[in-house]
Amino acid sequence: MNAIRLTMMVAYALLVPGTVLPAQAAELTFHCVNQASHVSWMLKVDPAKSTADGFPATISTASIAWRDPVRGGNYLLDRASGALTFSNASSMGGYMLFHRCQQVK
């Protein structure tokens, strides 16, 4: 949210009684499991900071996508199905790993 928009929303809320500012999206937690090895981990997504596991992410209502520059590779989480795909390109063709994630409520 840019500063001008936020300033306008605060000004409007102060002038119009009963106006409620939209809440910042809370951090989301997903429990993810590798479908082949059954190794699991918790994925933290912060919509307010646009991060996934601490890395810059593109977050929409349909998907969450990010790149891990430390390990290399790209992640794509389909929010509707919970399918998480990791893809890593290499000179030998690369590889993909498939996971299933469920949002922890």
Structural domain span for residue 49:
24-104
Residue 77 lies in a domain: yes
Residue 51 lies in a domain: yes
Residue 100 lies in a domain: yes
pLDDT (0 to 100) of residue 24: 53
* Each residue's pLDDT tens digit, 70-82: 888 999 999 999 9
Residue 5 lies in a domain: no
Residue 59 lies in a domain: yes
Would you place residue 90 in the very low, low, confident or very high pLDDT band (cuts 50, 70, 90)? Answer: confident
Residue 13 lies in a domain: no
Residue 10 lies in a domain: no
Residue 11 lies in a domain: no
Question: Both tokens of residue 23?
Answer: 């809440």
Q: What is the pTM of this model?
A: 0.73
Q: Kindly give, in sequence order, each residue whose CB lies less than 8 Å from that of residue 104, ignoring residues fewer than 6 positions away.
A: 29, 30, 31, 42
3-state secondary structure of 81: coil
Structural domains counted in the chain: 1
* Each residue's pLDDT tens digit, 5-56: 433 444 444 444 444 434 456 899 999 999 999 999 999 999 999 999 999 9
d(CA 82, CA 88): 20
